[in-house]
Chain A
Amino acid sequence: MQVTSSVREPLVTGGKTYKDVTHDVSRQVEGKPTIGWMLGLAVSIGVLLLGSIAVGATVWEGIGMWGLNKTVGWAWDITNFVWWVGIGHAGTLISAVLLLFRQKWRTSINRAAEAMTIFAVICAAMFPVLHMGRPWLGAYWALPLPNVFGSLWVNFNSPLLWDVFAISTYFSVSLVFWYIGLIPDFATIRDRATGLRKVIYGALSFGWTGAAKIWMRYEAVSLILAGLATPLVLSVHTIVSFDFATSVIPGWHTTIFPPYFVAGAIFSGFAMVLTLMLITRKLFKLEDYITMVHIELMNIVIIITGSIVGIAYITEFFIAWYSGVEAEQYAFINRAFGPYWWAYWSMMTCNVISPQLFWFKKIRTSIVFTFALSIVVNIGMWFERFVIIVTSLHRDYLPSSWAMFYPTWADVGVYLFTFGLFFTLFLLFAKFFPVINMAEVKSVLKSSSEKVNK
């Protein structure tokens, strides 16, 4: 049976059948690891181990190991935290928001994007936990438990506590959403496996049979989880932005922060999804599933969110001038022309100018350009957080307390550690879990492929 659409490009190319989908996706789970994968894992674990020296030193010596000082009390740690949380946003956006909007193109990329969310949030959580100085007590301080030294509770008026609830809810709901989606695919692998693999994937598949009644409930659960996760995506980065917006520091105390942070998060998240997807499709030969259509659509999301971020930067400047508040005006002039001018202009170049290149079809449909720009965007978004945090803190109302922030080897090391952790987890996921959602791809195959064989 030939099913083609005259109005849109197919989402799955290569004339794949249902059996081909199973085979192509299960191939790397069932086969021996490739040299490329082993090399990648070795490098990631190497970086992880190298970075763990800095994490060990921080835990042992305290956060005096970092470059923070009395003026710049937050710097790389919170920059990295916000950056990683932002990266985590694309996963839930792809799986939940696009599901609600019935965007079928999400099916090939949602699994890996959700995995990226989980791992990015784990990396993000490292920073506030380490910043607590005594992380083994951190969980106790952050939870609403009665204090043994007196019945003093956590402060529910503080955005930092809202963050604890937001991030942990986001992490656990995303994890559940991801795992529920994995169950049918684990069953597919279970039914193809023998021996120990059958036992492991049998347990992971929770006894899934594919019964129509359970599929019906599964679809209801997916849709409601998507409905719950969609405002959750918006709430998490909104709450992260409250960490800054509810303070009175010039450059932080702005109402534009919630939407601006959410757009930035989706912007950086999509850039990271693109980086990972381009590597994954090449490494696992999935070019027929993650096609140029997917890449182009993601690039379009990057143009939109990048432009929103660009407008936000300009609005911030306008409001600083329009407010007439001297401290606010100085904060923004200092950002652009002060000692951290290089960070500000790196941010502007990477985030405002580079995504605009995607208006050209030739660039947004080029693998090389997309890969390069996806990395540029992530560098830019890191600088954005750095600029907001460090330039606002290092010169505030009191010139006598002005200071500079210089990162130490421990700052760099902890950041490296999270990179190692992220890529180690992602590579393990890509090898042992089905990296593409087989069941969902099969469900759109008939209407969205070049050809479906009867």
Chain B
Amino acid sequence: MERDTNFVLGIYDDEDVLKEAVTKVRDSGVKIHEVFSPYPVHGLEDVLGYRRSRLPIAAFLFGLCGTCLALTMQILMMAVDWPMIIGGKDHAAIPDFIPVTFELTVLLAAFGMVGVFMISSDLKPWAQPRIFDKRSTDDKHVMAIDIAVNAGHEENKIKELLQASGASEVNNKSFE
């Protein structure tokens, strides 16, 4: 359960203004809770200081599992459990096993990575997300600042900072 919290929201109309604003706010020592956008803003993760996603590593590892699973399965079934000569080929006819191995590698890499993405981002059909401002899925960028986390900064100062950084609106939002 998330705690009761009060937020100050800076609403921005333009992605370039937003990126500059994020830099300004972070430079002033105010901690940003999160920024919400209707579309992916390239470069925003850098100014927010986020670490690169490790999902490619997850994809690689799941893909590797797919390769091993496919080769093991085919060799066990074709060469160990019920060996038959087909077209005069070896029991473990590796070139014949490449198509299925490739497909299972892709399948496991894709599903594994997407699964990790869903879990790590808490995306599920029954999720009840906190919506800071509905316009953040339409046409506005929303910067949310948690007042409790920034106890060292006065709320009014934070609002002034957001206004000065180019926010078209500055609002308050509380969640119970």
Contacts and interface: CB of A to CB of B under 8 A. Distances in A.
Interface of A: 1, 17-19, 22, 144, 151-157, 159, 161-162, 165-166, 169, 172-173, 176-177, 180, 183-184, 187-188, 190-192, 203-204, 206-221, 224-225, 228-229, 231-232, 235, 239, 242, 438-440, 442-443, 446, 454
Interface string B29-68: 0000011111111001100101001011001000000000
A265 to B, nearest CB: 17
A213 to B, nearest CB: 6
B107 to A, nearest CB: 5
Contact of A207 (B44, B103, B106, B123): B123
A393 to B, nearest CB: 21
Contacts of A169: 103-104, 106-107
A161 B99 CA distance: 10
Interface string B112-129: 011001101111111111
Given A17-B139, A220-B53, A446-B15, 7 more contacts: A184-B38, A210-B38, A217-B120, A228-B59, A235-B103, A439-B39, A454-B13
Contact of B59 (A18, A144, A192, A224): A224
A153 B78 contact: yes
The dominant DSSP class at the A interface is helix
Interface in B53-110: 53, 55-56, 59, 73-74, 77-78, 81-82, 86-87, 89, 93, 96-97, 99-100, 102-104, 106-107, 109-110
B4 interface: no
Given A212-B36, A228-B109, A231-B106, A191 B134 contact: yes
A190 B137 CA distance: 9
B113 to A, nearest CB: 6
23 contacts: A17-B139, A18-B38, A18-B138, A144-B77, A151-B82, A162-B103, A172-B110, A177-B110, A184-B137, A206-B123, A206-B127, A209-B130, A213-B50, A215-B40, A215-B41, A215-B45, A220-B55, A224-B109, A225-B110, A232-B106, A235-B103, A439-B38, A446-B15
Interface residues of B, number: 63
Given A191-B138, A209-B131, A214 B121 contact: yes
B50 A216 contact: yes
A206 B74 CA distance: 37
Contact of A180 (B104, B114, B124, B126): B114
Nearest to A222: B40
A440 B81 CA distance: 50
A208 B131 CA distance: 9
A242 to B, nearest CB: 7
Nearest to B40: A215
Given A18-B138, A162-B100, A439-B40, A157 B89 contact: yes
A228 B35 contact: no
B127 A19 contact: no
Given A165-B104, A172-B107, A221 B130 contact: no
